[in-house]
Amino acid sequence: MINGKSVLAIIPARGGSKGLPGKNVRRLCGKPLLIWSLEQAMNSTYLDTVFVSTDSNEISNIAESYGAEIPFLRPSELAMDCSPTSDVIIHVLTTFEQQGKKYDYVVLLEPTSPLRKDRDIDDALELLMEHSDRADCVVSVGELHMEHPMIVKKINAKGRLTPYIETTEKIYQRQQVDKAYFPYGVIYISSVSAFKRNLTFYTQETIPYLIERWQNFEVDDEIDFMIIEKIMMRMMIAVNN
């Protein structure tokens, strides 16, 4: 609870994955991937309930062995490749409400973004509370570097490279352009009322929570997994030294 407001955290971890099969339970530096997000959430000062939304008994059992409570599973129709995350969040909120549990804020923690600092969850919640008079959502964003949209190219119908965004300005390096940011899955927060109304974390009243460059990685495939594992190993070494 923060400022008298109750907070629910949801960690979405379905059983299926085409990019990297079994990724949510694949071991990363000694723990199943989703457990990093679960433990980060459980160490938060402000989260009242931490819920792993999954359709998988295997994932449910693993999460419970690390201290999670999972009173219900996600319906299979909400665990497809095309299932919107918004539908998953509404399902969790609605089911809890039917059990007599209502929350003021909902936090989404993607298990594929385990590179969180110890204070990220609480700092992001505090940021939203500080601006609650003018904002109802917070989304973590990281600065883009060589992936800047003004530098990115596309291949046209003739097989030629052309700018992804057409401009008369000659762009050769990122120092020539304004900063651009990408929403990475470190944390998303919304008031429950705003989420039910908009079904998204992106509204005209969304403010950014800035993360560091080393946090700009998400597990989508084998390469991502290797990079994140190397970063985590290096961070652990740095802390232990």
Per residue in 2-35, pLDDT (tens digit) is 999 999 999 999 987 777 888 999 999 999 999 9
- Buried/exposed 161-175: b ≥16 CB within 10 Å, e otherwise: eeeeeeeeeeeeebe
Third-level CATH fold of 7-140+182-240: Spore Coat Polysaccharide Biosynthesis Protein SpsA; Chain A (3.90.550)
Per residue in 133-160, pLDDT (tens digit) is 999 999 999 998 777 877 788 999 999 9
Give the number of other CB atoms < 10 A from CB of residue 75.
Answer: 13
Q: How far apart (Å, rounded) are the C-alpha atoms in residues 67 and 52?
A: 11
Task: Quote the distance between the C-alpha of residue 61 and its chain's center.
Answer: 22
pLDDT score of 167: 75
Q: Please check whether residue 134 is in contact with residue 128, taking contact to mean a CB–CB distance below 8 angstroms.
A: no
Q: Which two tokens stand for residue 1?
A: 């609870």
Assess whether pLDDT exceeds 50 at residue 204.
yes
Per residue in 90-147, pLDDT (tens digit) is 999 999 999 999 999 999 999 999 999 999 999 999 999 999 999 999 999 999 877 7
pLDDT score of 101: 95
Assess whether pLDDT exceeds 60 at residue 241.
no
Burial class (CB in 10 A: 0-12, 13-18, 19+), 115: buried
Looking at the chain, the whole-number percentage of residues with pLDDT higher than 90 is: 76
Burial class (CB in 10 A: 0-12, 13-18, 19+), 95: middle
Domain with CATH 3.90.550.10 in the chain: 7-140+182-240
Per residue in 149-191, pLDDT (tens digit) is 777 889 999 999 988 888 767 665 666 778 889 999 999 999 9
- The pLDDT mean for the chain works out to 91
- Statement: the pTM of the whole predicted model exceeds 0.85: yes
Task: Write the single-letter amino acid at 63.
Answer: A
What size, in residues, is the chain?
241
Q: Which two tokens stand for residue 156?
A: 């046209």
Q: How far apart (Å, rounded) are the C-alpha atoms in residues 91 and 103?
A: 14
